[in-house]
């Protein structure tokens, strides 16, 4: 059975081909069209996936889409109405996208891929949950997802057993750790959905002296659920994600590429600490509910490897699996796996052991590409190459290394055995 999973139209568009429950190929569209975090329909990625599986679109039994467009649309409309009239420009600018593609996905599958077969749509956070649990080595596990927002959910707590996934609790928009992180990322002068990793790195240079102020803005309850004081933010206006009130409290925002001051580093440190504490609190509560030794994580918030390492160290879970493509690209794997295992009832017998799921290129293809680009190059034997590269690294030079299949997702994959709880 062939199932094509698709995620697109927000960021990190991707496709994945599942053959009899095994992931044979997965790739992000950005690697083909060379636009980072591309939100385009993943046509080239899908075509690559089909080719890697030696099938055509006519061999596909189901296309799975990583969210429910109409449910998401209802949230977009309602939340824009709540912030009317400030949200009007943003609302008007996004409407054409909804009408031209997001709400007519079966027609898009036909137009882009020539596909007229069965398609399924599952909730965004279920795709995230499935992308972690169903490809993990665990028969049963607790599942935690967190991102900016799917349809309504921004954070879910659930559990998985064999091929079944249960969502036990959800936190809804606009209370969102992902949006909070992105809003402050833009306040610090970095791009939304792109600069969050820089803020995580910047945090190491600062002191968390704004942590109490953040705790007053975002109230975290004992069970880890939280409420964000929306007077400090503007998640819907499209103008900027933080409000005048936020600026009045913390000072003017940093302009992009402007000087990085101590207070910027301190804000990054405060945000990072706040996110870490909140995720640990949610994970501990999930452990209390599920009593499972195993935890699966997915959703863009779990691209935060510093927070992940604290979850591993400071919660009672013994084993942790993090979907390597924790952001929206991984939803393509999630929906395809959910279709095959959870909806069609097929047993799980395939674990995601690595992320080398994209195209590879032969030495001849590389030679041709270099020659046609008019670049100087020379070929070396393995031993001499290693020596040459090691020397350059020792001289503080930067080395790019290309080998084998392209990785799927931006971070290293892994199942981790945690040390005893502290």
Please, which residue, 14 or 202, has the CB nearer to Fe ion? 14
Task: Say how many C-beta atoms besides its own lie within 10 A of residue 364's C-beta.
Answer: 8
Q: How far is the CB of 162 from Fe ion (least distance, A)?
A: 25
Count of residues in the chain: 422
Please, which residue, 44 or 179, has the CB nearer to Fe ion? 179
Report strand pairing: 118-121 vs 414-417.
unpaired
Report strand pairing: 226-228 vs 218-220.
antiparallel
Q: How far is the CB of 387 from Fe ion (least distance, A)?
A: 44
Report strand pairing: 22-28 vs 14-19.
antiparallel
Is the Cα dihedral 92, 94, 98, 99 positive or negative? Answer: positive
Candidates 140-148, 216-224, 265-273, 336-344 — which segment interacts with Fe ion by CB under 5 A? 140-148
Please, which residue, 66 or 250, has the CB nearer to Fe ion? 66
Please, which residue, 47 or 169, has the CB nearer to Fe ion? 169
DSSP notation for 321-362: EE-SSTTGGGHHHHHHHIIIIIIT-PPP-------B-S----
Candidates 114-122, 169-177, 322-330, 337-345 — which segment interacts with Fe ion by CB under 5 A? 322-330
Q: How far is the CB of 328 from Fe ion (least distance, A)?
A: 5
User: Do 45 and 17 meet the contact criterion of CB atoms below 8 Å apart?
Assistant: no
- CB-based closest residue to Fe ion: 147
Which SS3 state, helix, strand or coil, does residue 399 take? Answer: coil
Cα dihedral 273, 276, 282, 288 in deg (nearest 10): -110
147 binds Fe ion (CB under 5 A): yes
Q: How far is the CB of 344 from Fe ion (least distance, A)?
A: 24
Residues in contact with 211: Cβ distance below 8 Å, sequence separation at least 6, in sequence order: 270, 273, 274
Phi, psi (degrees; rounded to nearest 5) at 155: -145, 135
Q: How far is the CB of 157 from Fe ion (least distance, A)?
A: 16
Q: How far is the CB of 396 from Fe ion (least distance, A)?
A: 38
- CA dist., res. 69 & res. 376, Å (int): 49
* Residue 11 CA: distances (Å) to CA of 14, 30, 38, 40, 321: 9, 10, 6, 8, 23
Q: How far is the CB of 72 from Fe ion (least distance, A)?
A: 11
Question: Which residues inside 370-409 make contact with Fe ion, applying CB under 5 A?
Answer: none
- CA dist., res. 195 & res. 227, Å (int): 24
Please, which residue, 206 or 330, has the CB nearer to Fe ion? 330
Q: How far is the CB of 290 from Fe ion (least distance, A)?
A: 22
- CA dist., res. 178 & res. 331, Å (int): 16
Candidates 85-93, 188-196, 283-291, 325-333 — which segment interacts with Fe ion by CB under 5 A? 325-333
Q: How far is the CB of 67 from Fe ion (least distance, A)?
A: 8
Q: How far is the CB of 166 from Fe ion (least distance, A)?
A: 19
From residue 88 to residue 127, the character string flagging contacts with Fe ion as x (rule: CB under 5 A) and all else as - is ----------------------------------------
Cα dihedral 311, 312, 315, 318 in deg (nearest 10): 150
Of the candidate residues 233, 328, 337, 355, the single one contacting Fe ion (CB under 5 A): 328
Please, which residue, 131 or 418, has the CB nearer to Fe ion? 131
Please, which residue, 112 or 147, has the CB nearer to Fe ion? 147
Candidates 41-49, 65-73, 142-150, 159-167 — which segment interacts with Fe ion by CB under 5 A? 142-150
Candidates 112-120, 186-194, 326-334, 338-346 — which segment interacts with Fe ion by CB under 5 A? 326-334
Candidates 70-78, 139-147, 192-200, 286-294 — which segment interacts with Fe ion by CB under 5 A? 139-147
Euclidean distance between the first and the last CA atom of the chain, given in angstroms as a whole number: 46
Burial of 345 (0-12, 13-18, 19+ CB in 10 A): exposed
What are the beta bridge partners of residue 320?
A: 295, 416
Name the nearest CA neighbour of 275 among 316, 228, 325: 228
151 binds Fe ion (CB under 5 A): no
Please, which residue, 175 or 328, has the CB nearer to Fe ion? 328
From residue 155 to residue 194, the character string flagging contacts with Fe ion as x (rule: CB under 5 A) and all else as - is ----------------------------------------
User: Do 143 and 132 meet the contact criterion of CB atoms below 8 Å apart?
Assistant: yes
Cα 98-100-103 angle, rounded to 5 deg: 50
Number of residues this chain uses to bind Fe ion (CB under 5 A): 2
Residues lying near Fe ion in the complex (CB under 5 A) are found at: 147, 328
């Amino acid at each position: 059975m062939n199932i094509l999973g698709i995620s697109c139209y927000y960021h990190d568009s991707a496709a994945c081909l599942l053959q009899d429950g095994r992931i044979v190929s997965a790739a992000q569209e950005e690697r083909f069209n060379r636009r980072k975090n591309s939100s385009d329909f993943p046509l080239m990625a899908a075509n690559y996936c089909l080719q890697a599986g030696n099938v055509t679109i006519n061999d596909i039994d189901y296309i799975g889409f990583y969210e429910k467009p109409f449910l998401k649309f209802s949230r977009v409309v309602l939340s824009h109405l709540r912030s009317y009239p400030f949200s009007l420009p943003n609302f008007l600018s996004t409407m054409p996208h909804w009408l031209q593609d997001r709400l007519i996905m079966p027609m898009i599958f036909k137009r882009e891929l020539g596909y007229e077969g069965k398609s399924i749509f599952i909730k965004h956070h279920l795709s995230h949950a499935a992308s972690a649990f169903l490809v993990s080595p665990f028969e049963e596990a607790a599942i935690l997802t967190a991102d900016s927002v799917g349809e309504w959910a921004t954070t879910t707590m659930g559990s998985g057993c064999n091929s079944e996934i249960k969502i036990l609790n959800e936190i809804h928009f606009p209370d969102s750790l992902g949006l909070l992180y992105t809003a402050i990322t833009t306040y610090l002068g970095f791009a939304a959905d792109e600069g969050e990793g820089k803020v995580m790195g910047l945090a190491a240079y600062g002191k968390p002296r704004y942590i109490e102020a953040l705790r007053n803005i975002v109230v975290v309850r004992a069970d880890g659920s939280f409420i964000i004081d929306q007077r400090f933010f503007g998640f819907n206006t499209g103008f900027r994600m933080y409000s005048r009130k936020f600026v009045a409290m913390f000072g003017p925002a940093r302009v992009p590429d402007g000087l990085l001051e101590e207070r910027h580093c301190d804000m990054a440190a405060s945000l990072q600490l706040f996110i870490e504490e909140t995720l640990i609190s949610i994970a501990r509560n999930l452990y209390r509910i599920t009593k499972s030794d195993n935890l699966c994580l997915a959703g863009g918030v779990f691209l935060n490897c510093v927070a992940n390492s604290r979850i591993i160290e400071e919660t009672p879970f013994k084993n942790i699996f993090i979907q390597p493509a924790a952001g929206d690209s991984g939803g393509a794997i999630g929906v395809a796996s959910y279709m095959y295992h959870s909806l069609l009832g097929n047993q799980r017998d395939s674990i995601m052991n690595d992320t080398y799921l994209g195209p590879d290129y032969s030495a001849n293809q590389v030679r041709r590409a270099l020659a046609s680009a008019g670049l100087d190059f020379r070929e070396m034997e393995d031993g001499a190459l290693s020596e040459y590269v090691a020397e350059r690294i020792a001289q503080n030079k930067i080395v790019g290394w290309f080998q084998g299949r392209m990785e799927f997702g931006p971070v290293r994959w892994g199942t981790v055995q945690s040390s005893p709880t502290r």
